[in-house]
Chain A
Amino acid sequence: MHSPLTGGRIKTQSPNDQIVKDGLRGLLASIAVGFTVSTVLVLIVITLTLLSTAASAASVDQINNTKSGSLLVKNAQTGHYMPTPTLLTDVKINVSGILARTTVSQQFQNNSKDWVEGIYVFPLPENAAVDQLRMRIGDRIIEGQIKEREEAKKQFQEAARSGKKATLIEQERSNVFTTSLTNIAPGESITIEIAYQNTLDYRDGAVSLRFPLVVAPRYIPGQEHNENTMTSTVNQGPSVTDAQKISPLIIDESEKKRNPVNLSIKLDAGFAIQTIHSTNHAIKKNKINEHQYKVNLVSNNVPADRDFEVTWRSAPDAMPRSAVYTEQKGDKYYSLITLFPPTDPNADIPRLPRDIVFVVDTSGSMHGASLDQAKSALKLAVQRLTNEDRFNIIQFNSTTQALYSHEQPASEKNLKVACRYINALVADGGTEFAPALSIALNDDAKAGRIRQVVFITDGSVGNEDEIFSMIKKRLGKNRLFPIGIGTAPNSHLMTKIAEYGRGSFTYIGDISEVATKMGDFFNRLENPVVTDISTKWPEDLIVDLSPSIIPDLYQGEPLVIVAATDRAFTGAVQIGGLFAGQQWRETVNLEKQSKEQGIGQIWARRKISEHMGSLRDGMSKEVVRQAVLDLALEHSLVTKYSSLVAVDVTPTRTMQFMYRQLIPLNMPNRWSQAKIFGALPQTATASSMHLILAALFSTLALVFFFKGRRPKTGSQR
């Protein structure tokens, strides 16, 4: 009778009450316990589910964490586990401006007692172009040859069947390449050498080179293998049936030094270097001259669990600069021209006043979030105008409507009007893009001013060809800056508009991105450093430029132009344009420029991506394939349609069986990836949790209902 809760309420005491009270006490006790239990249960359920999410995420990794000294891979047929060969990586990088040519040499050792076939995955920077493959077995060197993809595959398979050593490089994703090795003798070591080139990151006068030494745990060689159908007779069928389980090949902590690396860089920056800095590794620098350095890793055996990153910074320069490198290949000459914007933050570059026309799409497809994004982007843009600037806003759907008949000064009063106009925009009707574009291009830039046209649209436009030809015909000195918005903008159309309009394309996928994406956009819009860039070559030379329409040079971004000329020439190339409204010109004597390897390949790589892009224009696949293949075979490039294959002539395998083997890659020290998409979408709902809680609560309700009845039936007896 000490229940403090019930004591105050029960006034009389009778035997019957006593029973009721006992029952009540039991009930209250069970309520208390019940609630505690249910609360605890709910917490447990939530905790467990949270833990299970983490645990199953971890288990994917843990499955692959072998405890023994080397990583073992289960063979699908025999169930045997095989030890992995050890490996050494040697990297040599030649830098010309913002382009780097890298030669990677990798040594494999088969430390098992069997003949094995191995698959090694190596990470390459984005946009890397592989063009060389060499295999060294003892004293013999086997040179890789570029072949049409299917042919290369066939050659590789034949080699595997006949017991020859072979290597194949195919393009998988843009930055993951696979090296397949067959017939590695027990105890034998093989060295694979590849060469590739890529463009480096340039930001505010600093160039950074990154050599990714690790692959994120994501590659599934077994299945990738199925995709490529590279099987040898000795090991037919799917190589790894449970590839899911071995997917991330992550090696033991104690084995971190499995992929040791030597690395050296021959650096020709194209500008005077002020500082060189390495983020993760100790480096040694040897100065050759103002522009050139030799950089080495201090310790030669570096664990491959973190990326190598080195950054060099230019001395402050108030003028734009150009750097030119050339290469002769056969009877063709290739020149690489890099334009660097001024890097002196204190340099006073006069800013030209701008006339800017905003064209905003208010058609029905912009309804909802798209129009909200467009409005906030537009408001941000209008707010950044200065007193000297002039502006106009044109909206279009089925009809075209302009705020002013022509551009008006960005006075405080006019900006207020503009803001009201923007707020009142409503999306409805069709998308008649051409009339709006026509009105925007009615005028041209006045002397001493810049005229820019900003398009904000989701680009669901049909008559693309009409638009392109109008831009080509009427662009003049105008610059077009399309901003793609909404759920599914037509990026192809916008990229092309930017290309023909000599501006740039900005894509805003989500309202939360408006501020950051518009930041980059404004940088380009407000800081064109050199405009109307053109190159002048010696007479009667056939010059094929890439890009064919040269864009402007913006603050903070270098501009790379590659030229192919049909024959050798003497003399100079003139690079010119308007720097802050004034004529700017640099004359470069090509004979005196440093000769570099691989410039022809850069040119070819660009042409190939132009061809691949034309697939989207509806160009026939066969035509594109042939054009790409021709370039790839001439310049020895691994593409979607061509692979590198190296085959040894002498058969060496004497034993019957060969096992497929995987060479482990270190876990990344720190997860790193280009945040193109930010993160993948959230794709789960709480429905299961709700349903389980529903079941839990109804069970509890029933338990209490029946538990509460028992004392009552007892008292009635």
Chain B
Amino acid sequence: MSVRIRHLLFATLMSLAIWHLFEGGYIHAKAWLAQQLIHNAWHGAISNASAQTPWPGADTYPVARLTAQNGKIDLFVLAGTSGRTLAFGPGHMTGTALPGSYGNVVLSGHRDTHFSFLKNISIGDQLFLESSSGDRKLYEVIKTEVVHENDTHIARDSGDDRLTLITCFPFDALVPGGPMRYAVMARAVIPRTLNI
């Protein structure tokens, strides 16, 4: 009797644990796997100079490649910032300047997967953005800021040539959906040497 109940309880708790482990791991696995698949679509986009979907039925496509920390961070940026898109990679915020063009290019990504590296970013760090049309630009971080999600001034065109990365804040909050955002502003610089 006791053994059965104990086993039942053990099994229940363990399956709950496994389910949560799966749910938590799945997010990371999906984030990782999608980036691998996008890699191929990216090379298609570069060679054909047209938008390519990374897998059949995808409603987004890679628009840029973002590298940082001497290549340790290498991310493919997708078009749009819907929840579906952001699960696969950081997204380019629609309506802001297109990667490679002059203006404020705004990208956002999940604070716990692709954009977790923003936690450790500091002023002066370099970011490198390559657009699908082959434009390459080096940016230098000039400022970080915590804003409310409704405070969209950071996404507006600032008149200069900059890159804005947005992720959720605080980084270690457990439950998603908080109202604060962490923004990293970087301005385009003319590179002396590119060591990426």
Q: Which residues of A contact B (CB under 8 A)?
A: 9, 20, 23-24, 27-28, 31, 34, 45-46, 48-50, 52-54, 56-57, 60, 171-175, 216, 218, 220, 223-224, 226-227, 244, 247, 364-365, 367-370, 460, 486-491, 507, 509-510, 612, 615-616, 640, 671, 673-698, 700-701, 704-705, 708, 711-712
Q: Closest approach, in angstroms, between the C-beta of B15 and any C-beta of chain A?
A: 9
| Cβ 8 A contact of A171, one of B80, B159, B180 | B159
Q: Which residues of A contact B80 (CB under 8 A)?
A: 486-488
CB-based contact A487/B14 at 8 Å: no
- With A27-B2, A31-B5, A50-B175 in contact, do A685 and B152 touch (Cβ < 8 Å)? no
Distance of A332 Cα from B142 Cα, bound (Å): 42
Q: A488–B98 contact, CB under 8 A?
A: yes
Contact in complex: B10, A704 (CB < 8 Å): yes
**CA separation between A367 and B53, bound complex, in Å?**
10
B123 contact set on A, CB distance < 8 A: 223, 226
Contact between chains at A220 and B20 (CB < 8 Å) = no
* Docked complex Cα distance between A679 and B155 (Å): 10
Contact of B158 among A49, A173, A704 (CB under 8 A): A173
CB <8 Å contact, A690 and B146: no
B17 within 8 A of A: yes
Per-residue interface assignment for chain B, residues 1 to 26, with 1 indicating a CB less than 8 Å from any chain A CB and 0 otherwise:
11001100110011011111101110
Q: Which 6 A-B pairs have the closest CB atoms?
A: A368-B59, A690-B24, A701-B13, A487-B80, A49-B174, A694-B20
How many angstroms from the CA of A171 to the CA of B24 in the assembled complex? 45
The secondary structure that dominates the A interface is helix
User: Does the CB pair B147–A218 fall under 8 Å?
Assistant: yes
Chain B residues within 8 Å of A216, by CB: 151, 153
Contact assessment for A678 and B181 in the assembled complex, using a CB-CB cutoff below 8 Å: no
Cα A584 to Cα B152 in complex, Å, equals: 42
CA distance A510 to B86 in the complex (A): 15
**Of the candidates A56, A490, A695, which one forms a contact with B173 in the assembled complex, judged by CB atoms under 8 Å apart?**
A56
Residue B35 interfacial (CB < 8 Å): no
Given contacts A686-B175, A690-B24, contact A220 B145 (CB under 8 A): yes
State whether B110 touches A683 (Cβ < 8 A).
yes
B159 partner residues in chain A, CB cutoff 8 A? 171, 173-174, 612, 640
User: Does B178 lie within 8 Å of A684, measured CB to CB?
Assistant: yes
11 residue pairs of the A-B complex, CB under 8 angstroms, read: A27-B5, A50-B175, A56-B169, A247-B145, A487-B60, A676-B152, A683-B115, A686-B24, A690-B25, A691-B21, A698-B21
Question: A365-B51, A487-B94, A704-B6 given as contacts; is B17 within 8 A of A53 (CB)?
Answer: no
Contact A53 B170 (CB under 8 A): yes
Across the interface, do A680 and B155 meet the contact criterion of CB distance under 8 Å?
yes
- Is the Cβ of A681 less than 8 Å from the Cβ of B108? yes
Considering only residues 125-141 of chain B, those with a C-beta below 8 Å from chain A are none
Q: Which of A48, A487, A509, A711 has the most CB of B within 10 A?
A: A487
When the two chains form their complex, are residues A694 and B174 in contact, meaning their CB atoms are under 8 A apart? no
Q: Evaluate whether A173 and B156 lie within 8 angstroms (CB atoms) in the complex, with A680-B147, A705-B10 already known.
A: yes
A425 to chain B, nearest CB (A): 16
CB atoms of B13 and A697 under 8 A apart: yes
B43 at the interface (CB under 8 A from A): no
Task: Beyond A60-B146, A247-B145, list 13 extra A-B contacts (CB 8 Å).
Answer: A57-B169, A175-B153, A218-B153, A220-B145, A487-B80, A488-B92, A488-B98, A682-B83, A690-B24, A694-B17, A695-B17, A697-B13, A704-B13
Query: Which residues from B are CB-within-8-Å of A27?
Result: 2, 5-6
B158-178 at interface with A (beta carbon < 8 Å):
158-160, 166-170, 172-178
Q: Which residues of the partner chain A approach B59 to less than 8 Å between Cβ atoms? A: 367-370, 487
Interface residues of B in 73-117 (CB under 8 A from A): 79-83, 85-87, 91-95, 98, 101-103, 108-113, 115
A679 touches B173 (CB 8 A): no
Q: Report the nearest B residue to A6, measured CB to CB.
A: B1
Interface centre among A48, A697, A700 (most CB of B within 10 A): A697
Q: Decide if A509 touches B95 in the complex (CB within 8 Å).
A: yes
By a CB distance below 8 angstroms, the chain B residues around A46 are 174-175
Minimum C-beta distance from A632 to chain B (A): 13
Residues of B within 8 A of A (CB): 1-2, 5-6, 9-10, 13-14, 16-21, 23-25, 27-28, 50-51, 53, 57-61, 63, 79-83, 85-87, 91-95, 98, 101-103, 108-113, 115, 123, 142-160, 166-170, 172-181, 187
| Bound-complex Cα distance A53 to B181 (A) | 11
Once the chains are docked, how many angstroms separate the CA of A674 from the CA of B10?
A: 54
Return chain B residues, CB-CB under 8 Å to A690.
Answer: 20-21, 23-25, 27
Nearest-neighbour CB distance to chain A for B107, whole angstroms, equals: 10
Instruction: Tell me the bound Cα distance from A54 to B175 in angstroms.
Output: 11
Q: Which residues of B contact A367 (CB under 8 A)?
A: 53, 59
List B contacts of A491 (CB < 8 A): 95
Q: Contact: B170 with A227, CB < 8 Å?
A: no
Nearest residue, chain A, Cβ from B144 = A244
Q: A671-B148, A698-B17 are in contact. Are A20 and B1 (CB under 8 A)?
A: yes
Residues of B contacting A34 in the complex (Cβ-Cβ under 8 angstroms): 9
| A673 in contact with B2 given A683-B168, A685-B176 (CB within 8 Å) | no
B151 near A676 with CB under 8 A, answer no
Contact present for A701 and B60 (CB under 8 Å): no
A488-B94 in contact (CB<8A): yes
A522 and B161 alpha carbons, distance in the complex (Å): 35
- Give the shortest distance, in Å, between B41 (CB) and chain A (any CB): 13
What chain A residues lie within 8 Å of B58 (beta carbons)?
368
Given A27-B2, A683-B86, A698-B13, do A673 and B152 touch, yes or no (CB 8 Å)?
yes
In the complex, which residues of chain B have a beta carbon less than 8 angstroms from the beta carbon of A697? Answer: 13-14, 16-17, 20
Closest to A509 in B: B94
Contact B145 A174 (CB under 8 A): no
* Residue of B17, B51, B95, B175 touching A460 (CB-CB under 8 A): B51
A218-B145, A227-B187, A687-B112 are contacts. A682–B168 as well, Cβ < 8 Å? yes
Which of A223, A616, A679, A704 meets B9, CB within 8 Å? A704
B57 to chain A, nearest CB (A): 8
Q: Are A678 and B152 in contact (CB under 8 A)?
A: yes
Q: Which residues of A contact B50 (CB under 8 A)?
A: 365, 460
Would you call A671 and B177 a contact (CB within 8 A)? no
Q: With a CB–CB cut-off of 8 A, which chain B residues contact A48?
A: 174
Of the residues B95, B111, B175, contact of A677 by C-beta under 8 Å: B95
A683 with B181: in contact, given A218-B153, A694-B24 (CB under 8 Å)?
Answer: yes
Q: Are A52 and B16 in contact (CB under 8 A)?
A: no
Whether the Cβ atoms of B158 and A247 lie closer than 8 Å is no
Q: Output the residue of A27, A34, A712 with the most chain B CB within 10 A.
A: A27
Check B112–A685 contact: CB distance below 8 A. yes
Given the interface contacts A681-B81, A697-B13, does A687 sit within 8 Å of B24 by beta carbon? yes
Using Cβ atoms and an 8 Å threshold, which residues of chain A touch B57? 368
Chain B residues, Cβ within 8 Å of A173: 153, 156, 158-159
Residue among B13, B168, B176 having the largest count of chain A Cβ atoms under 10 Å = B13
**Inter-subunit contact B145/A688 (CB<8 Å):** no
How many whole Å from A51's CB to the nearest CB in chain B?
A: 10
Question: Could you say which of B21, B83, B102 contacts A615, with CB atoms under 8 Å apart?
Answer: B102
Are A705 and B6 in touch, CB under 8 angstroms? yes
* Residue of B6, B157, B169, B174 touching A45 (CB-CB under 8 A): B174
Residue of A9, A46, A226, A698 with most chain B CB atoms under a 10 A cut-off: A698
Closest chain A residue, CB of each to CB of B113? A685
Is A684 a contact of B168 with CB atoms below 8 Å? yes
State in angstroms the CA–CA spacing of A66 and B2 once bound together. 61
Known contacts being A24-B2, A226-B123, A679-B150, is A687 close to B27, with CB within 8 Å?
yes
Do the beta carbons of A224 and B176 come within 8 Å of each other? no
A489 partner residues in chain B, CB cutoff 8 A = 94
Given A20-B2, A49-B175, A691-B20, is A676 in contact with B92 using a C-beta cutoff of 8 Å? no
- Which A residues touch B154, using CB under 8 A? 680
B contact residues around A612 at 8 Å (CB): 159
**Residue numbers in B under 8 Å from A640 (CB-CB):** 159-160
Q: How far is the CB of A122 from chain B (nearest CB, A)?
A: 15
Contact B14 A227 (CB under 8 A): no
Report the nearest B residue to A674, measured CB to CB: B152
